[in-house]
Structure 1
Amino acid sequence: MYPEEFEYYDPETIEDAIETLETHSDREVTPIAGGHSLLPTMKSGLASPDVVVDLAFIDDLHGISRDDGVTTIGSMTEYARVADDEQLWGENRLVAESTAAIGDIQVRNVGTVGGNLAHSDPAADLPAAALAADVTVHAHGPDGPRTIPIDDFFVAMFTTALEDGELLTSVDVPHLGDDDIGVYLKKASPSSGYAIVGVAAVLETDGETITNARVAANGAFGHAMRLSPVEEHLADTPLSRREVAAEAAALATDGVDAYQLMEDEQASADFRAHLLEVYVERAIEDAIDRVTD
């Protein structure tokens, strides 16, 4: 099926892109990043924008840079470039590992980090990893640039804190300490590769004790969410106390109402709750093994 006709713009600067979005704000206008989410919905008729603004030609949105314990990833940087960045595997393995888990090589060569996060697909891999890694989102809109803490970014299914006419421009990924570790595991859909349930975990340690934890899930809820009861149970626990993984996993759905769990042809809400506990336990065990090995 072919999409309906639309106007196409290919700005070369962030400012030009913002101006184009603002100029056409009285119509249905949408930016396009890698296109893996937008194009299928346009072809199926689920989306029919009047104006498409292509971000691919904006050089400032591409690339990876480093400064003072932080790796900055431009929003139009392809998954493959992130997954192949050897330094990132040492600086924050979680972000590299979750990016490498996306789709297949064709998808990773075209899909972008910013497009993934801005789309807020509940089954996407990066949102949970971004939450657990405590990244910082940078955006730019008609009123200029602003910074969005990742804990405030994901609002609902396919909805973020980005405002109308605003673009996600980059994310800052903090480097983990020598005794800290991040892990991403998922139960992938056999048909699409998307996460039925995915769990991202970062354990900050002093080499003997978990001093702090950030654990988040995707696929299970309408949008990626941190699992606060799991995090609280892990804090101040000796790494040698292996049963803490199962104890924390049992708290994965604490405070979660039944309606918040996703239910579709891939899995029922009850099965997702079960998978969530299983993958939380596996992620924590894996993280502890990586620290103590």
Structure 2
Amino acid sequence: MYAFTYHRPTSARQAAGLLAKKEDAKLLAGGHTLLPTMKQRLAAPSALVDLSACADLKGIVRKGRNLVIGAMSTHAEVAASPEVQEAIPALAFLASHIGDPHVRHRGTIGGSVANNDPAADYPAALLALGATVVTNQRKLTAAEFFTGLYETALEEGEVITRVSFPVASKAGYAKFRNPASRYALVGVFVAKRGSEIAVAVTGAGEGGVFRWPEAEAALKTRFTAKSLDGLKATAKGINADMHADAEYRAHLIGVMAKQAVAQATGKGA
């Protein structure tokens, strides 16, 4: 690991100011990606801006028809939150199955969203629920925010402050996880908000998280797992690696989608 200076601001405004002043500074949220890459000398920021003391980036609150989660809320806090469990139980379920207890008590929703790992869980929830990512400068819909593998619309000096989720009438999440890392080989989040149906897939796309229009059309007819019987995702554009080839991941998309719908309708775990 190369030498760097360490900063621990107490507000998002202070953090943004440090980013602007310190050349090649990086934000530190949970640190699960940044710190290992620094240890391997694959990243060499001149400064780290630790967000852990920024009280204005924490907290979970229900505001009308929206659930607002501070960027520095940990996965464990999201999973255990009564507000999340009541408003969007599927989101609490998702958070409770991220990594292991150590990861869940250190990792944050803002850090996960900003990193946009193609096998991360939260991007599927944001895209399916139509969430809004709020920064210190603007608001971005999930569709605008996620732009590719490990890529987002965040600009230099921009800090995620919170994520706002519209409350869905029905939602479910299922993933086939890597037994070692617990990352999603394939994860599917389904959501029903009024007449709108969304099915978002993580862990599978060559370009990161994406929606599955064919499944959405089938579920608009009837929101039940049986509506997906016989529906197959195409292997075109699906990631292949040492863990699973494209055809297997495409098969898993259909399986996980049915499980997610079953969970959303109260007919599955």
Pick the TM interval, shorter chain.
Answer: over 0.9
Cα deviation, residue 189, structure 1: 0.3
Alignment-derived partner of residue 59 in structure 2: 63
**SS of structure 2 residue aligned to 1:263:** coil
Q: CA deviation at 1:53?
A: 0.9
Matched, 1:160 2:152: yes
Distance, in Å, in 2 between the alignment partners of 1:242 and 1:218 is 19
Q: CA deviation at 1:43?
A: 1.0
Task: Indicate if the aligned counterparts of 2:5 and 2:47 stay in contact, CA closer than 8 A.
Answer: yes
Give the one of 108, 123, 126 matched to 1:127: 123
C-alpha offsets along residues 160-184 of structure 1, whole Å, 9 cap, x if unaligned?
Answer: 11111101110112223xxx21111
Structure 1 runs of 4+ aligned residues shifted over 3 Å read 288-291
1:155 Cα shift?
A: 0.3
* Superposed displacement of residue 66, structure 1: 2.1
Corresponding residue number in structure 2 for 1:4: 2
* Residue 259 (structure 2) pairs with residue 274 (structure 1): no
Does structure 2 retain, via aligned residues, the 8 Å contact 1:103–1:194?
yes
| Corresponding letter in the other structure for 1:263 | A
1:104 aligns with 2:100: yes
SS in 1 for 2:229: helix
| TM-score, length of structure 1 as denominator length | 0.86
Residues paired across the two proteins, number: 267
Deviations 1:199-256 (A, max 9, x none): 0001346xxxxx3311101000131111122212221x235x7531224x42x33xx7
The aligned counterpart of 1:208 is none
Cα 1:212–1:290 change in 2 (3 A) is farther
Q: Confirm whether residue 148 of structure 1 aligns to residue 140 of structure 2.
A: yes
2:229 is the alignment partner of 1:246: yes
Percent of pairs with identical residues:
36
Rg larger for:
1
The answer (yes or no) to whether the contact 1:197–1:218 under 8 Å persists in 2 is yes
CA distance in 2, matches of 1:230, 1:62: 35
For each residue in 1:70-123, what CA deviation from the matched residue of structure 2 results, as whole angstroms up to 9, or x when unmatched? Answer: 221110011111100123122112221111110111111110010010100001
Quote the residue 2:20 is aligned against. Answer: 22
Secondary structure at the aligned position of 2:180 is classed as coil
Aligned residue in 2 for 1:263: 240
- The structural deviation recorded for 1:288 is 3.4
Matched-pair contact (CA < 8 Å) for 1:71–1:173: yes
Secondary structure, aligned partner of 1:243 = helix
Q: Which amino acid aligns with 1:17?
A: A
* Amino acid of the structure 2 residue aligned with 1:148: L
Matched position secondary structure for 2:208: coil
* Whole-Å separation in 1 of the counterparts to 2:210 and 2:99: 21
Kept in 2, the 8 Å contact 1:120–1:158? The answer is yes
| CA drift at 1:264 | 1.4
Whether the 8 Å CA contact 1:181–1:290 is kept in 2: the answer is no
CA contact (8 A) 1:65 1:73 kept: yes
Q: Amino acid of the residue matched to residue 67 of structure 1?
A: K
